[in-house]
Structure 1
Amino acid sequence: MANDKVEDLLKYRGSSPKPDDFDAYWARALNELDDQPLAYELVVAQFQTPLAECYHLYFTGVGGARVHAKFVKPKASNGMGPGLALFHGYHSNSGDWFDKVTYAAHGITVIALDCRGQGGLSEDNLAVKGNTLKGHIIRGIDEGNADRLYYRHVFLDLVQTVRILKSMDGVDPDKIGVHGCSQGGALAIACAALEPSVKLAIPVYPFLTDYKKAWEMDATSSAYEEIAYFFRFLDPLHTRQDELFHKLGYIDIQNLADRIEAKVIFVTGLADPVCPPYTQFATYNKITSDKELVVYHEYGHEYLPFLSDRVLQELLNL
């Protein structure tokens, strides 16, 4: 039964629309980012270990927001090593230092971004019209165009993060990996799509994909619940349904997937109630670069055994 389900999922191409000016939209956004300096500030962290140097890193993102990331580099350097950008789950933050130190102990330099206005130290200075209810997917949806969407700014932060990482001493710019789970998985895909220098992407049960399908599957108690809340409280007659899904198309990672040049190890669980597998496969099926699908048949949106070991091995083999 599980194998039959995978075969069915591998045929799915998505339900949400892709705006006609999608490529122009992101070309304009990246041009804006190109005008943003790569300047950053390093602040020595209170947490330190014998194996790594730990810092708080701050940079100014598009729109002037002060963005924070954890930065950890090996204390003993053997020349140029891999770099890893880590992205966190929805509402969360860049996490503890512990896992970053593990990578650094193996010669991998790590930068772990805090998404604007979520659980970390990055600020969200985006002033937009309308009520966002309780989340970020629809933040900026009431603006006249899609340039004020929250995730447009976050996606550009991803690219800026990797560009900073590539500029660091001891980092081989040809050995850059990105990794994350849920929202972090979506951000890994978006980053690899918008920053072609990324060589390896390991997204895990990604969020932010195929919004219309998630809504059609009644994902009202999951990461996509904001869409249902939007209709219930702000548009109960669905007069703005087409407008909503059109604008969300600009920040739908399935529409970015065919840009990816990196190797992709795409990890999913078939029992995922938070980010339904169909929405994830809408993205996977559009990736045209070298890719591998890793399926956890009885697992959902949770800890996946052996995965951390695999991530480390892949980075060491870059």
Structure 2
Amino acid sequence: MADFESWWRERAKAAEKCAAGQTPCLSDVGVQTPVADYREMRYVSLDGSSQVARVIVPRAAGPHPCILVWHDLDRGTRGWFQLSRYVAAGYAVVHPAYRSWSGDLTAGWQDGPEGLKVARLVEDTLVACALARGLKGVDGQRLMTHGEGFGSLFALAAAAFAEGVVKCAVVNAMPAKIESAWREGAAQMAYQGVWRHFREQDPCAEHAAELFSALAYVDAAEFAALLPASCELLDGVCLMDEVAPPATQRALFDRADCKKQIVTYPKFGHERLNDFENRLLSFMHFGERSA
């Protein structure tokens, strides 16, 4: 797409300005450990809506690298106990919650990319990243993004357009190559809205070109193609995934033009993977990299 990069570049600039113009509210959540501080961060996104993210910052002397984590569609916001594991690796953690939406990828497509509800979630992502970079105790030049399934969209968008992101890890990424996924019969989770659209609104696919032209602006593969050379990608693909077609995931990986590695799981589907999480732990290591 000719204007994908410029369209999102403008929104990334607006997100930076939005973050710079506010002081996020960090409130106590009633969780305490000897090694980290736990807070809820409330902030304002580009459209003026209030958003929330979970924040954990190690108490050890910093600044610390920071991982931003996004969950899949069928899983809610991750708990504090689960998020605390990243602290053991020396990381601060920011886990943005999704704003309320229908779960329909096609919502608002008639108004082009400007109307897409999912585009607002990507904007929330860019603001959250800009705010994470400025948190006390965080090294703003050592950010990492991680997304599972649908969360991969936000991890890749942040890595492509937010400053300071040098590592990105995704697994079972979707939505990717949305039209190809539809043609392959994808009809679950992120693709359910597309399936319903053609069943209920456009049964002869007479307006398919217009729909997919709009949806391309929230296609994870498009963001992957813009990962900067300074970013490193770890991509996990399950070859028995019936939710996110493996061919579309592989196409996403192929479009990334940065240092990258792919891990394939022949006998796994759309699920959480202990092996990938072990690899993630090694991938998170910065070694002697300077800030």
Unaligned runs of 5+ in 1: 1-17, 119-133
* 1:291 matched to 2:234: no
* 1:109 matched to 2:92: yes
Q: Which amino acid aligns with 2:244?
A: C
Q: TM-score, normalised by structure 2?
A: 0.91
The residue matched to 1:265 in structure 2 has which SS?
strand
Contact 2:16–2:130 (CA<8 Å) still a contact in 1? no
Match of 1:86 among 59, 69, 76: 69
Q: Which amino acid aligns with 1:136?
A: D
* 1:29 matched to 2:32: no
Residue range with higher mean Cα deviation, 300-309 or 206-215 = 300-309
Q: Deviations over 1:109-147 (max 9, x none)?
A: 1000111115xxxxxxxxxxxxxxx5331111122x321
Whole-angstrom CA distance in 1 between matches of 2:262 and 2:268: 15
In the alignment, which residue of structure 2 is the partner of 1:131? none
- Aligned Cα RMSD in Å? 1.7
The residue matched to 2:157 in structure 1 has which SS?
helix
CA gap 1:269/1:91 in 2 versus in 1, 3 angstroms: closer
In the alignment, which residue of structure 2 is the partner of 1:199? 166
Contact 2:9–2:161 (CA<8 Å) still a contact in 1? no
Deviation at 1:105, TM superposition (A): 3.7
The residue matched to 1:78 in structure 2 has which SS?
coil
CA gap 1:168/1:32 in 2 versus in 1, 3 angstroms: closer
Q: Deviations over 1:233-279 (max 9, x none)?
A: 11223221111011011111212222212100111111111100111
Match of 2:40 among 56, 75, 95: 56
Contact 1:274–1:301 (CA<8 Å) still a contact in 2? yes
* 1:141 matched to 2:125: no
Residue range with higher mean Cα deviation, 244-253 or 300-309 = 300-309
Q: TM-score, normalised by structure 1?
A: 0.84
CA gap 1:65/1:91 in 2 versus in 1, 3 angstroms: farther
Q: Which amino acid aligns with 2:236?
A: V
Unaligned runs of 5+ in 2: none
In the alignment, which residue of structure 2 is the partner of 1:129? none
CA gap 1:231/1:142 in 2 versus in 1, 3 angstroms: same
Residue range with higher mean Cα deviation, 153-162 or 265-274 = 153-162
The residue matched to 2:69 in structure 1 has which SS?
strand
Q: Deviations over 1:207-253 (max 9, x none)?
A: 11111111101112453121110111112232211110110111112
* 1:70 matched to 2:54: yes
Match of 2:237 among 255, 261, 268: 268
Contact 1:209–1:280 (CA<8 Å) still a contact in 2? yes
The number of residues matched between the two structures is 283
Q: Which has the higher contact order (CA 8 A, sep 6+)?
A: 1
Contact 2:133–2:164 (CA<8 Å) still a contact in 1? no
The residue matched to 2:30 in structure 1 has which SS?
coil
The residue matched to 1:256 in structure 2 has which SS?
helix
In the alignment, which residue of structure 1 is the partner of 2:202? 235
Deviation at 1:91, TM superposition (A): 5.1
